[in-house]
Amino acid sequence: MKLASYLLDGKPVFGALAGDGLVTLSGRLPTPCLTLREALSADLLGEIRQYMANRTADVAVADVVFLPVIPDPTQVFAAGVNYRDHVEETGRKVRTLDDGPSFFLRLRSSLVGHQQPVIRPKVSNRLDYEGELALVVGRGGRHIPEDQALSCLAGYTCFMDGSVRDYQKHSVSIGKNFISSGPLGPWLVTTDDIPDPEQLSLTTRLNGETMQQGRLNQLIFSIPYLVSYLSRITPLLPGDIIATGTPAGVGRDRSPAVWMKPGDRIEVEISGIGVLSNPIVAEDHEA
């Protein structure tokens, strides 16, 4: 099942894909809820599946404006340098269990929906791409054992961790939190459709040219480990986002470096999920 958040006639709603369109679910389920995060908090995936049985789309995908798949997450975590080939291209040391994974946080304002503009800021021309798989927390919890971690997830989506590299030298969090720099979507694919996320493959394309390719079984810290690790620190909440890291091929580490610029289009494709696609615009264009 694929679930999306979007604007319909200017109003934020969520719905499920049906064929080539969407069935809007906000305010229509037996248990009242308006947002996808509310639906996850109320554990309504089973109710949604029952409601969607034999439903046909009531709105075309082309008639909606996509929002980040969870527009209002309480927490957004992002793992850094979590593919061996990316560690190698950065010249760093592979982290061990004793080191622990490296994480930074993202602000809601940095997220943007499928097909919506990614903003290259006025203050930098070093906007880089990082294609990633993102996890969406379902029931969540605290101190989650690794062998139970996948059952705590609602599903998976695509993420493009846009990075302003010169500001990232000031601090990782600053370089990762420019407004409208992190596309998330286009939709959440529930875990029953992806029983083993480590079998997924990821491709990032810039203007149609393949820049990154990887498989999720190449992660240094596995998906269950990341979930379990974070739940030691703080309770994971329904709708929280966990980005899992990016493979080799980022623009900064190419020779010459490749930076995204206005007029470009960045795409992150993950098998079993789909394609997240966004244009790059100048900040002045949005002013």
Structural domain boundaries in the chain: 2-66, 76-286
Cα–Cα dist 241/68, whole Å? 11
Q: What integer pLDDT is reported at residue 285 of this predicted model? A: 60
Question: Which regions of 106-200 does DSSP assign to beta strands (E)?
Answer: 111-112, 118-120, 127-128, 131-137, 153-160, 163-164, 182-190
Q: What is each CA distance from 13 to 23, 48, 65, 115, in whole angstroms?
A: 10, 14, 10, 17
What are the distances in angstroms from CA 129 to CA 163, 202, 266?
Answer: 6, 13, 8
CA torsion sign for 165, 167, 171, 174 is: negative
CATH tag for 76-286 (out of 3.90.850.10, 3.40.30.160, 3.40.930.10, 3.40.50.300)? 3.90.850.10
Distances in Å between the alpha carbon of 110 and those of 120, 163, 183, 188, 270? 12, 11, 8, 19, 21
pLDDT digits (tens), the chain, 287 positions = 999 999 999 999 999 999 989 999 999 999 999 999 999 999 999 999 999 998 999 999 999 999 999 999 999 999 999 998 788 787 778 888 888 899 999 999 999 999 999 999 999 999 999 999 999 999 999 999 999 999 999 999 999 999 999 999 999 999 999 999 999 999 999 999 999 999 999 999 999 999 999 999 999 999 999 999 999 999 999 999 999 999 999 999 999 999 999 999 999 999 999 999 999 999 986 44
Secondary structure letter of residue 280 according to DSSP: E
| 211 in Cβ contact with 128 (< 8 Å) | no
Q: How far apart are CA 280 and CA 262, in angstroms?
A: 5
User: Given this model, what pLDDT does residue 99 score?
Assistant: 87
